[in-house]
Amino acid sequence: MIGFALQTYTHYLRAIKSSYQNIFRFDEYFLLEEKPENFCLIRHDIDRNPRNALLMAEVENKFGIQASYYFRTKRISFKPDIITKISALGHEIGYHYESFSDMDGNSVAALLDFGNNLKKIRRIAPVKTISMHGRPLSRFDNRDLWRDSLNHSLLKDKFNILGEIYLDIDYTDIAYINDTGRNWYSDKSNLRDRVDSKIKINFKNNNELLEYLRNKPHSKLVFQIHPERWSNNLIDWVYRFIVDNIVRCLKDVVRILNQGQK
């Protein structure tokens, strides 16, 4: 299998479909009164290249799978026609927010920005859950906007949001797999895209991941994928390969600088 090819992703979907009795969207998961012992949540952050997101959404639809797609409101990501098409396929549309970093840590300005952007997306599709955008080169963590209990209460009371998927889910016994940094090592390239889970799993390559998904994976799984780096187009694939490696190097520099400041 070619790593990060859309065709390879179909093998993962087939394995997930056979291994999990329940595949939920995040809005569905939040509404469950009792969480089942076996489930998978598939999540996509649309940082850029929403056309790839639509291709991935169409593939999932063919498998009868509904996932959650979190869109930024930046020009590079926010394409109303694509959001409409993905929503029409039965997938959840969420808000991939970055207001706190955009407003340089000003909570008042960030809440105003968050509300305006949320309205912008809701003109196209319902939004019930949110996911922070990591912004690894920023010194502000977007989740910090909600760590204030008053601000966090506004999510449900004012913004009618079921939950922030990093802060409002207990990941203790949930396996969390993501493709951040173009690899399957949970701590190698992630500066902020991490959860507090007791389950530590890493995979050297795509084949190891596929074998895991096929053969007795953990009973609870979040599968977090960035569609921008998945393509069957050779030129697009090579471009993303180069960009991902540049970004990974920048993250390494940031990590070293942060360690030097401690």
Q: Which fold has domain 6-261?
A: TIM Barrel (3.20.20)
Mean pLDDT is lowest, of 180-184, 234-238, 254-258, for: 254-258
Banded pLDDT at 261 (limits 50, 70, 90): low
What token pair was written down for 153?
């209460």
Distance from C-alpha of 5 to C-alpha of 86, rounded to nearest angstrom = 20
Banded pLDDT at 59 (limits 50, 70, 90): very high
End-to-end alpha-carbon separation of the chain, Å? 42
Supply the pLDDT for residue 124.
98
CA angle 22, 24, 26 (to 5 degrees): 150
Name the more confident of 111 and 243.
111
What token pair was written down for 143?
């989740």
DSSP labels for 58-126?
Answer: HHHHHTT---EEEE--STTT--HHHHHHHHHTT-EEEEEE-HHHHTTT-HHHHHHHHHHHHHHHHTTS-
> What residues contact 239, with CB distance under 8 A and at least 6 apart?
none
Distance from C-alpha of 42 to C-alpha of 227, rounded to nearest angstrom = 12
Supply the pLDDT for residue 255.
59
What token pair was written down for 17?
């479909």
What predicted TM-score, i.e. pTM, was given to this entire model? 0.93
Asked if pLDDT for residue 215 goes beyond 60, the answer is: yes
Distance from C-alpha of 194 to C-alpha of 215, rounded to nearest angstrom = 25
User: Can you tell me which residue has the tokens 């939004």?
Assistant: 127
> What residues contact 207, with CB distance under 8 A and at least 6 apart?
1
Distance from C-alpha of 71 to C-alpha of 48, rounded to nearest angstrom = 9
Supply the pLDDT for residue 102.
96
Asked if pLDDT for residue 188 goes beyond 90, the answer is: no
> Average pLDDT for residues 92-120, to the nearest whole number?
97
Asked if pLDDT for residue 43 goes beyond 80, the answer is: yes
Banded pLDDT at 239 (limits 50, 70, 90): confident
83 close to 124: Cβ distance less than 8 angstroms:
yes
Phi, psi (degrees; rounded to nearest 5) at 203: -135, 135
